[in-house]
């Protein structure tokens, strides 16, 4: 049976972040994820999770200017010291919140001639993060992002993620597989997940194109969810989409699954 999380950075944004935990709980989500939780202190987040009866499954290491069009943090050679500071911040939150996984966003290289150095830096930083989080029993994950939405993103395919995993060969390191991003890159998420479920530490989804809720694009979510369930993947599946309309109006896919489960 699939385990779903609500991404509180994109869902329930009709309310302030501190109020989204309870809003998600009212819709029967027992777990949530947040892209960057650092606007609130860790204890405040823990209190909100406890009050809502939820687990925080995943959050990201800070990515500096990535969402504003910059190169981010994890791959930029000149920012390596700042990345380590960001990992220390994330570790302090992780000690309180105890997520299942922490995501390291690779970032962009806007000068292609520097790409080999950026890739080397990213791999070094990824290992540094894994060394920090592994003693807490937390998986380190990293994700590929499509180059339509983020030109220059250094990891943008399933094959690249597999290559990094094979090269680094760490038992505590996994890929975060985002169905929307890989569909945008022309990949077949159903086949990829079936073939590589053992190397995936977290899955996220949105429909494609548009990155809205299931039913607004071309993805057959009945097939997708069935494939994930059959693949042997046992982790969480994150609803990380931008609702078309209100969050509540976007949850028909979730309500349908809950009704089907109640009939079993």
Residues marked as catalytic: 143, 240
CB atoms near residue 195 (< 10 Å):
13
Task: Tell me which residue has tokens 């960001």.
Answer: 86
CB atoms near residue 74 (< 10 Å):
32
- SS3 for 149? coil
Q: What is the largest CA-CA distance in the chain?
A: 57
CB atoms near residue 61 (< 10 Å):
26
Give the C-alpha separation, 132 to 67, whole Å: 24
Q: Tokens standing for 228? A: 């994930």
CB atoms near residue 197 (< 10 Å):
18
- SS3 for 63? coil
Q: Tokens standing for 194? A: 């079936």
Name the H helices within the chain.
17-26, 42-52, 80-97, 115-133, 158-168, 179-184, 189-196, 221-231, 252-263
Name the residue among 24, 22, 15 with its Cα closest to residue 47.
Answer: 22
- SS3 for 77? helix
Task: Tell me which residue has tokens 């990515």.
Answer: 63
Give the C-alpha separation, 141 to 85, whole Å: 18
């Amino acid at each position: 049976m699939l385990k779903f999380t609500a991404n509180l950075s994109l869902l329930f944004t009709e309310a302030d972040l501190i109020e989204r935990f309870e809003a998600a709980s009212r819709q029967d989500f027992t777990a949530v994820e947040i892209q960057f939780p650092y606007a609130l202190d860790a204890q405040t987040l823990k209190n909100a999770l406890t009050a809502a009866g939820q687990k925080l499954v995943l959050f990201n290491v800070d990515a500096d200017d990535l969402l504003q069009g910059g190169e981010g943090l994890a791959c930029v050679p000149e920012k390596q010291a700042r990345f380590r500071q960001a990992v220390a911040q994330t570790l302090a939150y992780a000690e309180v919140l105890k997520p299942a996984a922490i995501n390291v966003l690779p970032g962009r290289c806007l000068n292609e001639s520097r790409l080999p150095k950026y890739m080397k830096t990213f791999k070094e930083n990824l290992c540094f993060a894994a060394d920090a989080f592994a003693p807490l029993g937390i998986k380190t994950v990293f994700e590929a992002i499509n180059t339509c939405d983020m030109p220059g993103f250094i990891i943008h395919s399933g094959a690249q993620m597999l290559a990094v995993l094979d090269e680094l060969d760490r038992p505590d390191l996994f890929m975060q597989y985002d169905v929307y991003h890989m569909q945008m890159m022309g990949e077949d998420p159903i086949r990829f997940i079936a073939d590589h479920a053992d190397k995936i530490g977290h899955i996220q989804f949105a429909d494609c194109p548009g990155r809205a809720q299931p039913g607004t694009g071309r993805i057959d979510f009945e097939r997708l969810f069935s494939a994930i369930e059959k693949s042997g993947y046992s982790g969480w599946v994150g609803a990380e989409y931008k609702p078309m309309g209100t969050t509540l109006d976007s949850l028909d896919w979730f309500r349908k699954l809950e009704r089907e489960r109640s009939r079993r």
